[in-house]
Structure 1
């Protein structure tokens, strides 16, 4: 299990305080015209620019003002939702499942965030393992003994990196771990301070695009037996591919794996608020440029790993509250395990 893999507390950021403040939080009721807090991720990833596109379409279509905040991403964002510091956040579907069920990650073990609610799933978050030519790193196994940036502390990227490495037999004792944002990881690669970096997000990722314009890069394949080991160890991963030409100098398709990005909120946020925001996004997808081909009402519940908020259910309908088409009173298989929709 992941809880055995990640023996460190990945919530060494503000999210830890968020989880600690879960007990006793009562929340507030919001009306039209008020400001909503939207927690995203690092500025060099996909979460931050996509959240700002959501901000634009929401503010153009509603009376709400959206404040987008850069964060350490998924795990930290769960803590912010739990404490009420965030009204909406982008997180990974695997991290959402772990948080709601109080399992999988040390930060959530025995500390289930039962107030967490889903709004919609969005797009595949592709695992990028980026290195430089000349490092000799061509496979995941070659990462043993390397200096690796596994992502920000408190991010889904770090969780996924440790899961993937453990699945292929590389433990935290077998490499030198660095933790920094996508943009900082790009700088570290450029300067030769690290050998490789895990970066998770929908391609193309701005930090990697920028790095590839100034430095030669390679993206390590996750394929063959290694990919199968990862898929067997963690059901939330799926096969994926980074198309050739996505990044300068990487001309061939690169096989890899992915998780799913999703919008989450908290149970006590007013249903009318969640419904209004959700409709604004999914009725105005033409105003999006980032991952627009993936974001659709038809797929908005694919891979939904936690109970859907009642405001989102009003948008997507009571007959489709979870991936697999379960009703609001059914228990459905989500691919993450069994989730009862409420």
Structure 2
């Protein structure tokens, strides 16, 4: 009996790892945003085939994601806006030790898509254009969110000074929209989300009685300063047919999939398998995932100064990309504590 029990034990030990799922986490953004849907797509079509149980976690947004990726156990992946990542890099280069500790060990997996920036005001507001927001009361999103960083950075770029704290509020999107249309103590609410965003897609036709979107004026001098960092975009009527009657020009920011510079062999193996599965199922992601996947290119362009790809996943992805290219006929190939600045505050560095 002892021999039989030993044989069974050995067999179970041998079979166990073959069926075991590696447990990872990815931090995204709000439950009603685009990031969390992208995270769920990755869990289904990249993590599962790689035998990874990827838990998709909501968060305040990109700034919080950087910190959770750096310090929270189990968090191996994060979705981060390009301007947030760059802001941490800039703070580190400028001598902020806390920012350096956060951003230096992080690595880019892949650039994804551009996220639209929504400048929401009341339907009866006299405001029409984004550059008319100077000195207005604006909700920039929760402290620690990518939206707060984008909103405050944009204001500073466009108007040459920080948004006065007396004019800034840091409410969630939902709470801010209620204040905007309720007690009217806000002039505008800024939201960053890839279209179609659940927050706006679920609005009823009556929404047009209460809110409208401000437009980007390509000829405004403020716009010229903004597009040095952000990208022109269009919020399409097709994304929100219930309440939008015309396309609205706006600005956008790039989303990135980010990880840590891991050295543990087990983690490296799992992340390389994740990269292989992502590449192998990329067509499925584009066909069946969130519409934003259709804007993602399976490409690894040069990154900005201070940014680095995660080398093990980069090699895996580049090899897979090369194989995909060879498989397509040539004719079909597509070409320290101190007074905090507003930027440090929204990045969550003041407490560090």
| Normalised-by-shorter TM-score class | 0.7 to 0.9
Matched, 1:268 2:262: yes
2: CA distance, partners of 1:231 / 1:33: 44
* Correspondent of 1:246 among 239, 256, 261: 239
1: CA distance, partners of 2:95 / 2:203: 31
Secondary structure of the equivalent of 2:203?
Answer: helix
Contact 1:99 1:108 in 2 (8 A): no
Note closer, same or farther for the CA distance 1:177–1:274 as it changes in structure 2 (3 Å cut): same
Deviations 1:23-45 (A, max 9, x none): xxxxxxxx962210111111121
TM-score, L = length of structure 2: 0.72
Greater radius of gyration (CA): 2
Matched, 1:154 2:144: yes
Note closer, same or farther for the CA distance 1:100–1:319 as it changes in structure 2 (3 Å cut): farther
2: CA distance, partners of 1:318 / 1:274: 15
Q: Match for residue 168 of structure 2?
A: 177
Deviation at 1:161, TM superposition (A): 0.5
Contact 1:43 1:183 in 2 (8 A): no
* Correspondent of 2:64 among 76, 98, 106: 76
Note closer, same or farther for the CA distance 1:91–1:175 as it changes in structure 2 (3 Å cut): same
Note closer, same or farther for the CA distance 1:191–1:119 as it changes in structure 2 (3 Å cut): same
1: CA distance, partners of 2:206 / 2:254: 30
1:179-194 pair list within 5 angstroms:
179-193=170-184, 194=186
Note closer, same or farther for the CA distance 1:58–1:192 as it changes in structure 2 (3 Å cut): farther
What are the ranges of 5 or more consecutive residues in structure 2 without an aligned counterpart?
Answer: 1-18, 322-352
* Correspondent of 2:38 among 25, 28, 50: 50
Deviations 1:93-149 (A, max 9, x none): 222233345258979655552110011111101111111211222123432443321
Task: Determine which structure has greater relative contact order: mean sequence separation of CA pairs < 8 Å that are 6+ residues apart, divided by chain length.
Answer: 2
Q: CA RMSD in A?
A: 2.8
Q: Match for residue 199 of structure 2?
A: 207
Contact 2:30 2:60 in 1 (8 A): yes
Q: Match for residue 289 of structure 1?
A: 289
Matched, 1:280 2:305: no
Secondary structure of the equivalent of 1:126?
Answer: strand
Contact 2:113 2:254 in 1 (8 A): yes
Note closer, same or farther for the CA distance 1:105–1:67 as it changes in structure 2 (3 Å cut): farther
Q: Match for residue 311 of structure 1?
A: 312
- Richer in helix (by share): 2
Note closer, same or farther for the CA distance 1:267–1:93 as it changes in structure 2 (3 Å cut): same
Q: Match for residue 214 of structure 2?
A: 220
Note closer, same or farther for the CA distance 1:319–1:49 as it changes in structure 2 (3 Å cut): closer
